[in-house]
Structure 1
Amino acid sequence: MQAQPCDPAVTPSRNSKCSAVTGSARKIKDNAADWHNLILKWEKLNDEGTTVATAIVNLRTTSRDSQKEQQIITMEDHASSSSSPSHPSMDRQLEEACGRLVDIVDKMDHIVGKMERLVSTVEGVVQLELFQFGPQGRTAPLFISWPTARFVEVSRHLFDSYSQELKLKHSILQEVAHWDTSDLSMVLLSCWLYQPYIQSDTRLTLESLLLETGHRPL
């Protein structure tokens, strides 16, 4: 990280190192790197979840088709149509797949919790600057052009997007093993894969944050 220009409001001595300014810049730059790393972990979990959710839907479809075939056979044999075949192996696979999806969503919960703490960290930097510089804020940006308050706006935007997406993941988790029609199952899988609450502007926001803080070259 390049050293930031000294602000006389922070360091009255010209020979001092501007530790307060550098400290705030370091916190925000590290914060941006944490956002990047958490979102990479989220995307990896989303890919894993897509694979597991697809397996759940396929198991449900196979089980449903098998039951229909068995019901036709038993009806032709004049057996009781109320008796349904048991598929212990398939049921076990379905239970294990659901357990893996629960674990994935739990990890996503943990990631969003860390994202919330990142927002709090940047808010703390802004509060510190209000104390140091007053309502007018810092006279020069910490990095390229953003005022410090802009980092709070960006962090909140990212957090809100992933918080909403997490709620959707929980809804899919509750429903994916229970839908009885393939069309609805495909809708759930599409929602999981394409993440409607994480739009292109969300990803652009992250890239802008990384560019502003020097993690991306100009």
Structure 2
Amino acid sequence: MSHTPKKENTVLKENEYSPVILRQTPGASQKNLTGPPRVARDIVADLYNNIQHWNDSHIKGAQIVKQIAILKSEDHRNYSPQLEEYTNDLFSVVLSLDIYRKHFEHYNTQIKAVSKLEKNSEPIFISLNATALANAVIDIANAYIAEFKLKKLVLENIAHSKNKHEAMFYAACWAHQTRITSSINVTLEALLVETGFRPIN
């Protein structure tokens, strides 16, 4: 005869929970940081600031791309002075984005060096060790580097669109920033919290 296990009614009392003690990490106070924690925090700050500048240029470029797409949609053979002016303006935007791309590549190099120096597996701020923090920075930087390549592709091709659909496709490619996913944005916000630039809610 088989016995069916009976569900035990176990109620934990409040005083039966053991307290959780957080270890004090080198970057916990976020004040007077030195060594790898300071460098890592500075890299995250620079990364965030460059992304803000990137966003400004992206929005400016989106307005220009929209105007080019309108001209090419009306007549794909349009190579008017106005189109040339818009294309030159877009070229200037891409040049500014290229500066930020170089910065992102530099952050990759810097954060890799930090992870090699800080070989301790313990968190350097709240929860991430140097390797995990470096991987997060690299993922974000690489997303923007990949997005730059797409924006350069739009610059090189939108003025030569053969029809309305092609022009609108390039305009959409610029506007939607498909390489910069919601996951990348979440990772950036997590880094800001991790390094003390955002409060823990």
Given candidates 136, 144, 162, the residue that maps to 1:180 is 162
Measure the CA separation in 2 of the matches of 1:28 and 1:160.
Answer: 17
Q: Structure 1: which amino acid aligns with 2:61?
A: G
Q: Which residue of 2 aligns with 1:60?
A: 72
Does residue 200 of structure 1 match 2:189? no
1:22-54 Cα shifts (integer Å, max 9, x gaps): 222111111111111111111111111110011
- Asked if 1 retains the 8 angstrom alpha-carbon contact of 2:72 and 2:167, the reply is no
- Greater share of helix: 1
Per-residue CA distance 1:97-135 (angstroms, 9 max, x = gap): 101101111111110110111111111112222xxxxxx
Q: Distance in 1 between matches of 2:163 and 2:26?
A: 63
Q: Alpha-carbon deviation of 1:140?
A: 3.7
Please report how far the alpha carbon of residue 169 of structure 1 lies from its aligned counterpart in structure 2 after TM superposition.
0.8
Shift of 1:139: 5.8
CA RMSD of the aligned region, Å?
Answer: 2.3
2:193 to 193, 201, 211: 211
Contact between 1:4 and 1:22, CA under 8 Å: does it hold in 2? no
| Match status 1:151 vs 2:133 | yes
Matches of 1:5 and 1:202, distance apart in 2? 26
Q: How does 1:36-47 map to 2 (within 5 A)?
A: 36-47=48-59
* 2:66 aligned with 1:49: no
User: For 1:201 and 1:128, how far apart are their aligned partners in 2?
Assistant: 28
Structure 1 length normalisation: TM-score?
0.73
Matched position secondary structure for 1:177 = helix
Measured in 2, the distance between the counterparts of 1:174 and 1:110 equals: 18
TM-score where L is the length of structure 2: 0.79
Distance 1:125 1:139 in 2: 13
Q: 1:122 aligns with which of 111, 127, 131?
A: 111
Structure 1 unpaired stretches of 5+ = 7-18, 68-86, 130-136
CA offsets 1:153-212 (integer angstroms, 9 cap, x no match):
112111221121111111111111111311221111111101111110011110111110
Asked if structure 1 preserves the Cα contact closer than 8 Å seen for 2:25 and 2:126, the reply is: no
**SS of the counterpart of 1:145?**
coil
Q: 1:141: Cα distance to partner?
A: 2.0
Which residues of structure 2 form unaligned runs of 5+? 1-23
Amino acid at match of 2:58: N
Looking at structure 2, the residues matched to 114 and 5 of structure 1 have their Cα atoms a distance apart, in angstroms, of: 27
- Structure 1 residue aligned with 2:42: 30
Query: Following superposition of structure 1 onto structure 2, how do residues 93-104 of structure 1 map, counting pairs within 5 Å?
Result: 93-104=82-93
Aligned length: 173
**Percent identity between the two aligned chains:** 30
Q: Is the 8 A contact 2:147 2:177 kept in 1?
A: yes
In structure 2, give the amino acid aligned to 1:209.
L
Instruction: Give the AA of the match of 1:43.
Output: N
Quote the Cα distance in structure 1 between the aligned partners of 2:106 and 2:26. Answer: 28
Output the CA distance in 2 between the equivalents of 1:186 and 1:55: 10
